[in-house]
Chain A
Amino acid sequence: MSVESSSTSVAVTDGQSKNFRKPKYSRFSQQELDAWQPILTPSWAISIFTVIGLIFIPVGLASLFASESVVEVPFRYDDECLPPDYKDDALEYIQNDNINKTCTRNLTIKNKMKAPIYVYYQLGNFYQNHRRYVKSRDDKQLRNKASENDVGSCSPEDYTSTELGHKPIVPCGIIAWSLFNDTYRISSNNKDLVINKKNIAWKSDQLAKFGSDVYPKNFQIGGLIGGARLNESIPLSEQEDLIVWMRTAALPTFRKLYGKIETDIEVNEEVMLVIENNYNTYEFGGRKSLVLSTTTWVGGRNHFLGMAYILIGGVSLLLAVGFLLLYVMQPRPLGDPSYLSWNRNPGSLR
């Protein structure tokens, strides 16, 4: 209450410290910092639009050309490889282990594919991004042998059934359990085009996320069998198919690297695909494709980026021209107060 007042009177009477409350000067506290005030003048706007256009169109063209130069051969085989007898009973076909799943098809490659040719499998309508699916793994277990018993949120693929001794499954969880198990062989003129399955996973995964001393254990035994089985004598860090699979995809349609073919495929060469059609996508209406593709500096074949660049560049140039026209046709001094809202309709003031 009166506290402050009395301290004031002290301050006033005491001549020496009279201005001790005076705020200290600094350019910051007085808000007097140097300021750059860019103004969007028409010339600036026009130049910026032009520059955008001039940069974007070449970039767009370059990436479009690059993308165009990529040869991509997709082959959807989920329907194709379903024998006609099973057309109406795909589930029976896929679930019956006694039915031969091998499927052989010939493809004519229309353009020359230069090595390395990447082999992908592409799944559609497969929700690798489902919350339950994504969480169903245990990174610690994958990394360390010592954490074998660590099965975190892997249920129901955490332990083997009680008949089998309730042992921890390595790798646990439904991601690993549902590992893709179709296999491909590609040959040309009766000569195998070898698919190199090395180096298809990220190095960092192999080095740091999947232990070199962690071996698969109790995997895919008993109960429901999901997808592929793993060779128990190979450490996880070398199980590249698993590593690739475990990098879950963002959207329900995704490609994953299957391997590389390190020989060229000539123009109009006919290749024979031998597909072991094991993976059950029929149950959930998923799609399966095999994709052969070369790459360039922009990666695989996708015109979208190049088109988008060209479009944006074009629009910018158009805007630049439009503004130029406006400027020429209707020049107006900058800072003309007559354009202020209250000067435009004087009656509207309160």
Chain B
Amino acid sequence: MAEGRKRRIHFSKLYSFSCLKSPFRDGHSQIGNKGYSRVVHCNDLDNPEAVQLNYGGNYVSTTKYTAFNFIPKSLFEQFRRVANIYFLVVACVSFSPLAPFTALSIVAPLLVVIGATMAKEAVEDWRRRKQDIEANNRKVQVYGRNYTFVETRWKKLRVGDIIKVYKDEYFPADLLLLSSSYDDGVCYVETMNLDGETNLKLKHALEVTIHLRDEKSLQKFSAVVKCEDPNENLYSFIGTLHYDGKEYPLSLQQILLRDSKLKNTDYIYGVVIFTGHDTKVMQNSTDPPSKRSKIERKMDKIIYILFSTLILISFIGSVFFGVETKRDIGAGRYRRWYLRPNNTTVFYDPRRATLAAILHFLTALMLYGYLIPISLYVSIEIVKVLQSIFINHDQEMYYEETDRPARARTSNLNEELGQVDTILCDKTGTLTCNSMEFVKCSIGGIPYGRGMTEVEKALARRGKDRESEVDGGSSDFLGQNNEAVDSWHPIKGFNFRDERIMNGQWVNEPYPDFVQKFFRVLAICHTAIPDVDKESGEISYEAESPDEAAFVIAARELGFEFFARTQTSISLHELNYESGKKVDRVYQLLHVLEFSSSRKRMSVIVKNEDNHLLLLCKGADSVMFERLSQHGRQFEAETRDHIKRYAEAGLRTLVIAYRELDEEEYKLWDKDFSKIKSSVTEERDALVDAAADKMEKDLILLGATAVEDRLQKGVPECIEKLARAKIKLWVLTGDKMETAVNIGYACSLLRQDMKQIVITLDSPDILSLEKQGDKNALAKASLESIKMQIREGILQIKSAKESSDTNKGSSSGFGLIIDGKSLDYSLNKILERSFFELAISCASVICCRSSPKQKARVTRLVKLGTGKTTLSIGDGANDVGMLQEADIGVGISGAEGMQAVMASDFAIAQFRFLERLLLVHGHWCYRRISMMYPFLYLEGVEDILFSWPRILGWMLNGVLSSLVIFFLTTNSVLNQAFRVDGKVVDFEILGVTMYTCVVWTVNCQMALSINYFTWIQHFFIWGSIAFWYVFVLIYGYLSPAISTTAYRVFVEACAPSGLYWLVTLLVVVCVLLPYFSYRSFQSRFLPMYHDIIQRNQVEGIEIGLSDDELPKQVQGKLLHLRERLKQREL
């Protein structure tokens, strides 16, 4: 271990430009003031001052409710719904004599509704609580009073505790790093959960605390940390450490945040500074905005319409009531004497007819209250829960590898899935696996590598361009290739197959020395750290970026195994192609010229065992080719060609080159460079770049690499299907433009025949302005430039449209690519509209280098701009804003970070499941919810399903149906005898007759409008009808004290009457005949989408969307019945 530690000791210094010291900054002067008042007594829990401070424990609760506030809080939530308030008021009034019926009949449904929804809330909150309990009870080693580490639970941690965290564990609270298993007190942290970045971050302990590495030394340790109060800023920390009578400044470099993970370091010691809800991650967690689906919003509007109708009906009724009542008394006479107007209550008092009318209005509001469907909410809740269950249980959305099924985390957006118009998509981890694979390379003008990239596969699938094999290798290798496939086993980051250079075969190639040098560069020119598994001897690498890891792995697989790194050397197991033996070679590492986005290249200067000085360089083709020496351009043409083809195949390319250095020249430069590096002027960075630039010239081209940013399985197919469903896809990524464009090609968002509109601020004018540093001028110029670019883009599209209109030619479409900086300007008020106009007229939009905030803003722009449903999909914490902003947020649950999933409405394991989620479940959900509405069940794919004409049409249908039912029934059975025994119909019998008609009509209407009948439909539709008869039968047999007017009505009066049955048949047929005729006419002459699909399906033609249907509109039906019953009966 000690040796291992030694070896790694100063690795941190490889980060050559990083600054380890954190000087006192402005903020530190504020310590002790407001906002910076926190005092932490480290390792001194019994200190009375510490006790007095009484900081909260590390217990974390993410639940919405507690046991105490559940009832009031959830009740409050419930009564935010308009309809519920209405029912509450009605329920209160129902206890007064105003009520037209017993209070119970109003209160009971309300209680059921509220109770059911509250129960759902309670269950959901209970789940959250279980998660909390799990987190709170995780174990951690804490330094106890007896000077040893003892195990305790997370929730028991207190501010000031010293804890020990092991490799791959999460930090339980925000910690101050004291020391680590490394001698220099560094540790590596993965902050995936916080910011979505997968690369490791380096943290340094203060020099004064590095020695606190065992229990003994900790015994005497006592210090005080004064720092800022809890806040949500993840990227700053201000504090001081008071230790041994001295003050040391603390910065974020020493702080380990809760929910990040210790990596690549055996253990660390730290002091708890913020606990529980004071931690930065908890401060950051906001309650997700409550999203309501469009249908729900529309439903509110429908409820308002119904309200208005209700008020209108009640008003008209009251006016008539008032007029009639007033007429009951006049000139000392009582008109309707049988109502005893002379001796009556205020409700019917003709002398106070106006008051009576007003009171009647209130009564009527209650009486016709069934127009507002109280149970609709509950029914919809139930249906939504069922839909969620279907989503959760869909085996086709289950991902074996990570053992994750899909999760509908909120149920109220299910139907919205069927209406998605635009998808805003994160790239890394969502479209791609976030792993780079080395697939191809070009060495000495010869292309190697036979792996098929996604793009090539896509191309091959489409059947065109079969001959455009990028690897240039032709069919004569196919036989061997197959063998290779057989023996090939997957290695993460490596998908390269070419027997010509694998397994040491490269020595037989035309330029073996090139191959050797090429892979040597890959093995040496990087900043990765090897990690040797002691038991198996296998080497894995921790690299800054997955690209780099892919290179090192590729080099290893081809026989240049990088196995050790010290501060000054890099060691390889290498194949000596002359002797054919494996030898260890040590390269003396002299300088690392870091990669930066402006340099676009990275170099190392090494001295090999033969004392040759070499500069090994890899970089983007745009900067590399110009740096080649005259004699180093031997293969330039071929390499350029290969690079072009790789790029077209969606691969990331780098050019590999080297240079032998002259000893004298190097010495001169080294002196210069070292001086610059140690300087502390402002231009230091620029000077370093310039110095590096001096060495990186006259390079000799070796070749180029092609790395595939591996797409997740099924992504191109999924995108294609979504495109076919006319769903637009925008990619919002933090990546560089080149990468983003590559991926755009890889997943067929961009095609070769598309015109690209690139909006960027990378123009020389802007860059020069940037250098001058005049911010105002820069902003102004940038704005102008963006404005112009947008205008140009719009013009371009317009002209293309015109020309395609005239030529009838196929317009290939446009792809808009915009970078983060430009996005900032485009999103301001002035340009927003035109930018949006441009963006929506492009077939695909890619925003690169966008910050989480920009992602959210773009999402909002799209949401508000189109007014249509937007869906965001992402996997990292940086996507949280976007997920919350969109109408629907979908989190990818594959990766370790759960932030996105926690913020999402749906969680799926793989991007490709989106297709099923949207096109299958979304469609079903939408249809089912639409079906829930009284009088309306709707169909189709787009918004026509739930459009106002349809809603109103169904409402009209409902009104007409009720009119038909009323008039047909009354005219048929009144006033003559309705049975052979001369008995006539009273209101009880009329009620039963009419309601029978309603039950039949509603259920048959439902049956008519359903396209799919499983046993469930049969059961509920026909069951409802049967249930009605069973109900009146049983209810009628109860004692008249309970059944009152329903006593024996069916058995005694209705059933023996032929008229009763004839009326039922007449009414049902009469009500449904118009709809049935319309349907038969429409399905033949104006068919809708689903009609055709269904027809084709039955005829065996596959269309590929829905396959079967299982609606659950049971509740809708019952509700419908109930509503009508009440209307009629009273």
A77-131 interface (Cβ within 8 A of B): 91, 116, 118, 120, 122, 126-127, 129-131
Chain A nearest CB from B901 CB (Å) reads 7
Nearest B-chain residue to A26, judged by Cβ: B393
- A305, B973: Cα distance in complex, Å: 8
B1073 within 8 A of A: yes
Closest to A60 in B: B1066
Q: Please, what's the 1-or-0 string for B759-789, where 1 marks a CB less than 8 Å from any CB in chain A?
A: 0000000000000000000000000000000
Residues of A within 8 A of B1041 (CB): 139-140, 143
A19 to chain B, nearest CB (A): 6
Binds B, one of A162-170, A228-236, A267-275, A334-342: A334-342
Contact of B1058 among A3, A72, A297, A312 (CB under 8 A): A297
Indicate if the CB atoms of B1016 and A33 lie closer than 8 Å.
yes
A340 & B988 in contact (Cβ 8 Å cutoff)? no
- Least CB distance, A260 to chain B, in whole angstroms: 7
Among A22, A44, A224, contact of B403 (Cβ-Cβ < 8 Å): A22
Cβ–Cβ contact A293 & B977, under 8 A: yes
Task: Decide yes or no whether B632 CB sits under 8 A from chain A.
Answer: no
Contact A56 B1084 (CB under 8 A): no
Is B990 at the interface (CB under 8 A from chain A)?
A: yes
The interface size bin for chain B is 35 or more
Q: Report A-chain residues with C-beta under 8 Å of the C-beta of B131.
A: 3-4
Q: Which residues of A contact B488 (CB under 8 A)?
A: none
Q: Is the CB of A2 within 8 A of B344?
A: no
For A248-263 the 0/1 string (1 means CB < 8 A from B) is: 1111011111001000
Segment of B290-298, B394-402, B620-628 in the binding face: B394-402
Closest chain A residue to B1096, Cβ basis: A335
Q: Residues of A contacting B1066 with CB < 8 Å?
A: 305, 308-309, 312
The smallest beta-carbon distance between B153 and chain A, in angstroms, is 14
Contact with A along B1063-1098 (1 / 0, CB 8 A): 101100110010011011101111111001011111
Among A2, A39, A44, A204, which residue has its beta carbon within 8 angstroms of that of B1047? Answer: A204
Q: Would you give 23 A-B contacts (Cβ < 8 Å), ordered by A? A: A1-B193, A8-B896, A18-B403, A21-B405, A22-B395, A22-B403, A26-B393, A29-B393, A37-B1013, A38-B1013, A40-B1080, A156-B344, A174-B339, A226-B338, A250-B970, A250-B974, A283-B335, A295-B982, A297-B1058, A299-B973, A299-B976, A299-B977, A316-B1073
Chain B residue with Cβ nearest A134: B987
- Set of chain A residues within 8 Å of B398, measured between Cβ atoms: 21-23
Which residues in B have their C-beta under 8 angstroms from that of A202?
983, 1048, 1052-1053
How many angstroms between the C-alpha atoms of A218 and B979 in the bound complex? 36
Decide if B170 touches A6 in the complex (CB within 8 Å). yes
Contact with A along B529-560 (1 / 0, CB 8 A): 00000000000000000000000000000000
B1062 touches A59 (CB 8 A): yes
Q: Which residues of chain A (315-346) have a CB below 8 Å from chain B?
A: 315-316, 319, 323, 326, 332, 334-337, 339-341
Whether the Cβ atoms of B984 and A33 lie closer than 8 Å is no
Chain B residues near A126: list those with CB within 8 A: 338
Chain A residues closer than 8 Å to B21, beta-carbon distance: none
Residues of chain B from 225 to 283 with CB closer than 8 A to chain A in the complex = 259, 281-282
B3 at the interface (CB under 8 A from A): no
Provide the residues of chain A in CB contact with B1083, threshold 8 Å. Answer: 39-40
B968, A247: Cβ atoms closer than 8 Å = no
Inter-chain contact B1095/A132, CB cutoff 8 Å? no
Q: Which residues of chain B have C-beta atoms less than 8 A from A120's C-beta?
A: 984
Q: Are A23 and B405 in contact (CB under 8 A)?
A: yes
What separation, in Å, do the CA atoms of A253 and B987 have in the docked complex?
Answer: 12
Task: Specify which chain A residues have a CB less than 8 angstroms from the CB of B170 in the assembled complex.
Answer: 2, 6
Instruction: Say yes or no: B339 contacts A301, CB within 8 Å.
Output: no
Which residues of chain B are within 8 angstroms of A312 by Cβ–Cβ distance? Answer: 1066, 1069-1070, 1073
Binding site for B on A (CB under 8 A): 1-9, 11-12, 18-26, 28-40, 42, 44-45, 48-49, 52, 56, 59, 63, 70, 72, 91, 116, 118, 120, 122, 126-127, 129-133, 139-140, 143, 155-157, 174, 177-178, 200, 202-204, 208-209, 224, 226-227, 247-251, 253-257, 260, 280, 283-284, 293, 295-302, 304-305, 308-309, 312, 315-316, 319, 323, 326, 332, 334-337, 339-341, 349-350
- Structural contact, A300 and B976, CB atoms closer than 8 A: yes
Q: How far is the CA of A178 from the CA of B336 in the complex (A)?
A: 11
Q: How far is the CA of A263 from the CA of B937 in the complex (A)?
A: 57
Whether the pair B1059, A305 counts as a contact (CB closer than 8 A) is yes
Instruction: Indicate whether A350 sits within 8 Å of B1095 (C-beta atoms), given known contacts A12-B402, A247-B986.
Output: no
CB of A305 within 8 A of CB of B1062, answer yes
Min C-beta distance of B938 to chain A, whole Å: 15
Contact of A131 among B100, B390, B985, B1099 (CB under 8 A): B100
Q: Does B716 have its Cβ within 8 Å of any Cβ on chain A?
A: no
| Contact pick for B1086, options A209, A295, A339, CB 8 Å | A339
Q: A91-B333, A174-B339 provided; 18 other pairs, C-beta below 8 A?
A: A1-B259, A12-B402, A21-B403, A21-B404, A23-B405, A30-B395, A31-B390, A32-B1108, A33-B1014, A118-B982, A133-B339, A156-B343, A224-B340, A224-B342, A302-B972, A304-B971, A309-B1066, A326-B1085
Which 5 pairs from chain A and chain B are nearest by CB? A300-B976, A45-B1080, A250-B987, A118-B982, A300-B977
Expressed in whole angstroms, the Cα–Cα distance for A266 and B423 within the complex equals 86
Contact with A along B1024-1062 (1 / 0, CB 8 A): 000000000000000111001001100011000111001
- Closest chain B residue to A339, Cβ basis: B1087
Residues in B neighbouring A257, C-beta threshold 8 A: 982-984
Q: How far is the CA of A72 from the CA of B982 in the complex (A)?
A: 12
Q: Which of A40, A308, A326 contacts B1070 (CB 8 A)?
A: A308
Interface centre among A40, A257, A319, by most chain B C-beta atoms within 10 angstroms, is A40
